Amino acid sequence: MLKTEIVDIINNLEEKTIQTRRKIHENPELEFEEFKTSELVCDRLDSIGVPYIKNVAKTGIVATVRGKSGGRTVALRADMDALPLIEKSGAKYASKINGKMHACGHDAHTAILLSVCEVFNKIKNEFCGNVKFIFQPAEEGVGGAEVMIKEGVLKDPDVSACLALHVDPNIEVGKITVRPGFVYASPDEFYITVKGKGGHCAEPHLCVDPITVAAEIVSAVKTTPKGKLGAIVGVTKIDGGTATNIIPDEVKLCGTARSTGFEERANLKNMIESKTEEICKKYGAHAEVNFVELFPPLINDEKIADIVRQAAEEELGAENVSSGEPTMAGEDFAYFAKELPSAIFKLGCGNVEKNIVYPLHSPMFNIDENCMKIGVRVFVNSALKLLEW
């Protein structure tokens, strides 16, 4: 009974979900500036009568649908920010803001979550517990998730599990992937300043050449490709020297250090520091190493991932659900997954026949909007299972 009722509600919301996404897509906003997007979310929540708290982490919103008393609280999260990019997709609802674009699908994430919220509000007399809807700013780069958690979004009522989705153009529409364990890497950065002793290039024996030292560090820290699951370390920028006849005093390097787990992350940090120190010692140079931890690695909880898999199989058929591949990109939902049992699943939005094949962060990126209803269905069924878990 409830099942068919939910299917009807979701079908009836499909057009609204698509139109909401297009409206957000036309008006992209960058991290912590999602004012209009935030207003759109609040307007929709007002219209359906779901209470919320706004201005969490500046532009974030937390809405809560309370079911019957007793039961746990499950949180679903969507990110809202766009990217600094000029859109070239040619879509009729393309960005109206020059230099800003929803090229990571966060417009779809927000529109899907609003519809999921509307579904739960309509069936609130039919489940026990609460569902929290977290509309998060600033996923790209600065980690709005961490700020929201610090501002208490996982408390009152206390959340016991979190879910998120990310659209993926590498997966055909109609399919999803969800895997236990490692899904996204920690996209950390490192900064090294090599300090030598500068002088005349004709007298290298009187100098400590930081360029030679830096060159050796570049090859020493770089990881050899070991397939998709290998850690990735690479220097991506070097800055030093002013002329052909001067040995400079110092050289600055920086790069990326991506790992697949917390232990691997600690090992990478150690490796970069110890190799740098070793090489400097050999040449009589000194170095300052600054390893900057950005998002944690995103590790899906095994049980939660399995519940999402079951829910998705019920909705889409087992043939359309697989474990997929992890990626060495970062995702700040990792902050939620670090706090509580959580899982993120990837929602197929690609369609070769419609030429929807461009990757995330491409100016040509688009989604097959048929994926949105699927996202709503998998979210709703997964959350219902988690409430009873």
Q: Residues in the site for Zn ion, rule: CB under 5 A? A: 104
Task: Give whichever of 104 and 235 is closer to Zn ion, judged by the CB atom.
Answer: 104
What does the alpha-carbon distance between residue 103 and residue 84 come to, in Å, rounded to a whole number?
Answer: 9
What does the alpha-carbon distance between residue 216 and residue 207 come to, in Å, rounded to a whole number?
Answer: 17
Question: Minimal distance in Å, beta carbon 142 to Zn ion?
Answer: 12
Question: Minimal distance in Å, beta carbon 367 to Zn ion?
Answer: 12
Task: Give whichever of 104 and 113 is closer to Zn ion, judged by the CB atom.
Answer: 104
> Which residue of this chain has its Cβ atom nearest to Zn ion in the complex?
104
DSSP 3-state assignment of 369? Answer: coil
Residues contacting residue 384 through CB under 8 Å, at least 6 positions apart: 127, 311
Three-class SS of 178-239? CCCEEEECEEEEEEEEEECECEECCCHHHCECHHHHHHHHHHHHCCCCCCCCCCEEEEEEEE
Question: Minimal distance in Å, beta carbon 71 to Zn ion?
Answer: 31
Question: Minimal distance in Å, beta carbon 106 to Zn ion?
Answer: 6
Task: Give whichever of 141 and 199 is closer to Zn ion, judged by the CB atom.
Answer: 141
Q: Which two tokens stand for residue 359?
A: 């990757």
Task: Give whichever of 104 and 173 is closer to Zn ion, judged by the CB atom.
Answer: 104
Task: Give whichever of 190 and 295 is closer to Zn ion, judged by the CB atom.
Answer: 295
CB atoms within 10 A of CB 209: 21
Task: Give whichever of 79 and 315 is closer to Zn ion, judged by the CB atom.
Answer: 79
Task: Give whichever of 192 and 371 is closer to Zn ion, judged by the CB atom.
Answer: 371
Question: Minimal distance in Å, beta carbon 332 to Zn ion?
Answer: 9
CA 205 to chain centre: 50
Question: Minimal distance in Å, beta carbon 14 to Zn ion?
Answer: 23
What does the alpha-carbon distance between residue 36 and residue 358 come to, in Å, rounded to a whole number?
Answer: 27
Question: Minimal distance in Å, beta carbon 187 to Zn ion?
Answer: 11
Task: Give whichever of 123 and 364 is closer to Zn ion, judged by the CB atom.
Answer: 364
Q: Which two tokens stand for residue 330?
A: 């970062």
Question: Minimal distance in Å, beta carbon 155 to Zn ion?
Answer: 26
Question: Minimal distance in Å, beta carbon 331 to Zn ion?
Answer: 7
CB atoms within 10 A of CB 171: 20
Walk across the sheet containing 250-259 and list its strands.
232-240, 250-259, 186-195, 286-292
What does the alpha-carbon distance between residue 259 and residue 263 come to, in Å, rounded to a whole number?
Answer: 9
What does the alpha-carbon distance between residue 40 and residue 43 come to, in Å, rounded to a whole number?
Answer: 5
Task: Give whichever of 102 and 309 is closer to Zn ion, judged by the CB atom.
Answer: 102
Residue 123 has φ and ψ, to the nearest 5°, of -110, 25
Distances (CA, A) of 213 to 73, 248, 249: 54, 12, 12
Question: Minimal distance in Å, beta carbon 86 to Zn ion?
Answer: 16
Task: Give whichever of 100 and 286 is closer to Zn ion, judged by the CB atom.
Answer: 100
What does the alpha-carbon distance between residue 71 and residue 160 come to, in Å, rounded to a whole number?
Answer: 10
Distances (CA, A) of 322 to 174, 342, 372: 12, 18, 18
> Would the CA dihedral through 39, 44, 45, 46 be positive or negative?
positive
